[in-house]
């Protein structure tokens, strides 16, 4: 990764207690930034997990936490009174399958919440705005690998639809209100602190417990897995990009690894690092699921200095060590 990080300032980060957000906070605090985090500790998964993520942050003099729901625009405006160099908006309802059963909830949090943040930025004159989007916006785009220039995207689940709507809102605020908006399309982020509902984490816990893992369809799906450290480096590059007033007001970037790994290959690699055998429970293919994701990362490499540095095997080994340590902590807490 080319070091294109901007000098330390004051970052407002939504979703800063989550998987990616908490790692980003670690990086910024280590580099001398002031960090203000907005997180509502949504019970989508156990909020105690996020509390563990941020426990060291709460002791840091440059860190401040506000427990606010981004759907509450008035609360955001009342609480967030400091001057901020950049907004990094990562808060969202995540997960494809849950969006199928709660499409309105995803619309309210992901679209109305983003609208609130963009309005807040405009009113306060905070132009640099980095948004955490998703590879899911590509839907079943037939052109591979996927490029940011691909047009006519048709998402196939409510989560993806909400993220594409957010990118379009960002364009409106960039073109009409002068914000500098960068949308980062994350491709299947994994590693330490990964959400427990995501496949690698979910499968690993089930395998260690000797339980079956659910595999949907014929196991032929593929993902462009991206280690969290590379994602954080990409976000840092995007922060520098949007702070630079000479850059375009609107840009989208893929943050992926530019290679795909099949589901069954991923399970075999999990078996190796965990030293346990997977017991597969074959299930029907799930509506709204994407069969393949694959990122073209040329644009991010050129504009952000983005260069994935951690391969899948290395990241998976680090995840396995972290998971075993986490499970020991959890066992001691009960």
Query: Active-site residue numbers?
Result: 159
Backbone angles phi, psi at 157, to 5 degrees: -155, 160
Specify burial of residue 233 (Cβ count, 10 A radius: 0-12, 13-18, 19+): buried
Rounded CA gap, 319 and 321, in Å? 5
Total residue count of the chain as it appears in this document: 334
Task: Give the residue carrying structure tokens 């309802």.
Answer: 93
Q: Strand order in 86-89's β-sheet?
A: 63-66, 34-38, 10-14, 86-89, 128-134, 180-186, 250-255
**What six digits make up the tokens of 44?**
């989508």
CA distance 95 to 179: 28
Going by DSSP bridges, is the β-strand pair 261-262/222-223 parallel, antiparallel, or unpaired?
antiparallel
For residue 214, the SS3 value is strand
Measured between alpha carbons, how far is residue 40 from residues 51, 91, 112, 273, 299 in Å?
11, 9, 15, 34, 33
Contact in structure between 235 and 186 (CB atoms under 8 Å): no
Is the distance from CB of 136 to CB of 92 less than 8 angstroms? no
To the nearest 10 degrees (0 to 180), the angle between helices 263-274 and 312-333 is 60
d(CA 298, CA 151): 17
Residues 35 and 25: their CA atoms lie apart, in Å, by 7
* Torsion angle in degrees (nearest 10) through CA of 69, 74, 78, 82: 70
């Amino acid at each position: 990764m080319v070091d294109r990080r901007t000098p330390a300032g004051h970052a407002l980060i939504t979703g800063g207690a989550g998987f990616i957000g908490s790692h980003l906070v670690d990086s910024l605090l280590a580099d001398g930034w002031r960090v203000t985090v907005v997180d509502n500790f949504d019970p989508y998964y156990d909020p105690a997990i996020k509390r563990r993520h941020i426990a060291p942050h709460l002791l840091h003099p440059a860190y401040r936490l506000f427990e606010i729901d981004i759907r509450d625009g008035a609360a955001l405006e009342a609480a967030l009174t400091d001057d901020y160099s950049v907004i990094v908006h990562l808060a969202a309802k995540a997960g494809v399958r849950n969006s199928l059963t709660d499409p309105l909830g995803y619309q309210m949090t992901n679209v109305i919440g983003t609208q609130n943040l963009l309005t807040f930025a405009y009113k306060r004159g905070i132009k640099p705005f980095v948004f955490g989007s998703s590879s899911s916006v590509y839907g079943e785009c037939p052109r591979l690998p996927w490029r940011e220039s691909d047009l006519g995207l048709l998402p196939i689940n409510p989560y993806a639809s909400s993220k594409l709507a957010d990118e379009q809102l960002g364009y409106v605020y960039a073109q009409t209100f002068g914000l500098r908006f960068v949308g980062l399309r994350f491709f299947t982020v994994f590693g330490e602190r990964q959400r427990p509902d995501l496949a690698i984490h979910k499968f690993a816990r089930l395998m260690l417990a000797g339980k079956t893992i659910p595999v949907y369809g014929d196991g032929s799906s593929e993902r462009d897995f991206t280690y969290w450290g590379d994602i954080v480096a990409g976000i840092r590059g995007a922060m520098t990009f949007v702070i630079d007033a000479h850059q375009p007001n609107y840009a989208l970037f893929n943050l992926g690894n530019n290679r795909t790994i099949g589901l069954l290959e991923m399970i075999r690699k999990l078996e190796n690092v965990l030293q346990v055998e997977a017991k597969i429970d074959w299930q029907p293919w799930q509506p709204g699921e994407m069969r393949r994701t694959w990122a073209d990362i040329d644009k991010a490499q050129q504009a952000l200095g983005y260069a994935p540095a951690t391969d899948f095997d290395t990241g998976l080994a680090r995840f396995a060590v972290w998971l075993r340590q986490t499970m020991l902590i959890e066992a001691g807490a009960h």
